[in-house]
Structure 1
Amino acid sequence: MTISMYQASVPVFVRMLTNCGGILRKAEAHAVRAGFNPATLLEARLAPDMFPLHRQVQIAADGARGAASRLAGLALPDPEAEDFAVFNRGIQHRFLDTASSFAELATRLDAAISCIEALRPEQIDGSEARGIDVTMGGRTRRFAGLPFLLHYALPNLHFHIAMAYAILRHAGVALGKQDFEGPAVYASLP
């Protein structure tokens, strides 16, 4: 059995962003039940030098959208377009402040998912050796598609969603491993 670049990227990006949306819904409901302003969770962080919840989610959404678009070979609006960045804005803290509520984060996640779901297998399959450029602050790093996906995009996506999960668990939101992983999509062999 072989796996294609499309199968290794698009379903994973969509699944993880969808799971992140579910985590955020539980967090907002937790705040409402506990009687505090849900917006306080958006600024929660694990350590003073780490990004808060809303940045972790924003980076995950924009990074997955940007990674999928680059794998598909799409012409980007600008190599450094904020909503097509690929996990690389954190160093310089360049972010648009558009996520001041859970609803705005949900909208951002939904937009990223829609963009990714619109990609077709023929756009991504065969991108293993395609040149992928990641530009930050005028400096461009060039990757081949397969190492970009396996060693840069997917680890970064999982990191930022795991940080969002950890921030919320630390804040007392009742989350479990299933919330991070989502429903089982695998079949057992006989």
Structure 2
Amino acid sequence: MTSLHALTIPPLIRGMHNISAILKKAQASGIDASILLTSRIHPEMLPFPNQILFLTNMAVRTTTEINSSLPPSPLPPLEENPTFDTLISRIASAINYLESVTPEQLDGREEAAVKLRIDRRKWAGDIAYVEYGTVEFVQMHAHPYFWFHVVTAYDLLRAGGVELGKFDFLNAAGLKSFEFRDD
């Protein structure tokens, strides 16, 4: 069986490396950064920087939900007017934090319970509580939440005119080698 650390940490790190490379591509695109950084899909949606805030927070929070004795998040609150540079720096800080988490700090906690309080939007008017087993939390909550915000950030940039494709989403940081052939 794959270890809890292997199930949890490498996908989060890879996703953050890729979204960081995508942000650098957006930054170099020549498209007005203020347009990209204020983009949103829906008027009630928070703007682009919040996607980076949410994915980095979830990446770091995933580890502390699994092991509450881990140090708290080193990530500062989101600045009032973030730039691509500050968002890229935030991603780098989250990656550094995750790289510091050892297998010994997560493995062996597969059967522990993770209890979450989920504040629903004001339109719902209530608070939900949910309890997961640790592996279930990683697979059914943490990763989907993280990837939702990675995809949303990618989609906002692509809709804003940044030349992105599926390969950018999968391997923008060049973490995996590919052999291209005309077969």
SS of equivalent residue, structure 1 residue 133: strand
- By how many angstroms is 1:172 displaced? 0.7
Gaps of 5+ in 1: 85-94
Match of 1:89 in 2: none
Match of 2:102 in 1: 120
Q: Give the TM-score normalised by the residue count of structure 1.
A: 0.78
- Identity across aligned pairs (percent)? 28
Whether 2:44 is the aligned partner of 1:49: answer yes
> What is the CA–CA distance in structure 1 between the aligned matches of 2:41 and 2:108, rounded to whole Å?
39
Equivalent position to 2:61, from 55, 61, 66: 66
> What is the CA–CA distance in structure 2 between the aligned matches of 1:168 and 1:101, rounded to whole Å?
14
Q: Give the TM-score normalised by the residue count of structure 2.
A: 0.81
- By how many angstroms is 1:57 displaced? 1.0
Q: Deviations over 1:107-141 (max 9, x none)?
A: 11111111111000111112221222334569764
- By how many angstroms is 1:75 displaced? 4.8
- By how many angstroms is 1:96 displaced? 4.4
Q: Which amino acid aligns with 2:103?
A: P
Moved over 6 A (4+): none
Match of 1:173 in 2: 162
Whether 2:25 is the aligned partner of 1:26: answer yes
- By how many angstroms is 1:47 displaced? 1.8
Q: Which amino acid aligns with 2:169?
A: F
Contact 2:53 2:78 in 1 (8 A): no
Alpha carbons of structure 1 residues 48 and 176: separation in structure 2 relative to 1, 3 Å: same
SS of equivalent residue, structure 2 residue 131: strand
Match of 1:4 in 2: 3
Equivalent position to 1:132, from 110, 114, 139: 114
SS of equivalent residue, structure 1 residue 74: coil
Q: Deviations over 1:47-79 (max 9, x none)?
A: 2122221101110011111112222343565xx
Contact 1:98 1:104 in 2 (8 A): no
Q: Deviations over 1:142-187 (max 9, x none)?
A: 3220110000000111110000000011011001111111146499
Question: What is the number of residues matched between the two proteins?
Answer: 169
Gaps of 5+ in 2: 120-126, 179-183
Match of 1:150 in 2: 139
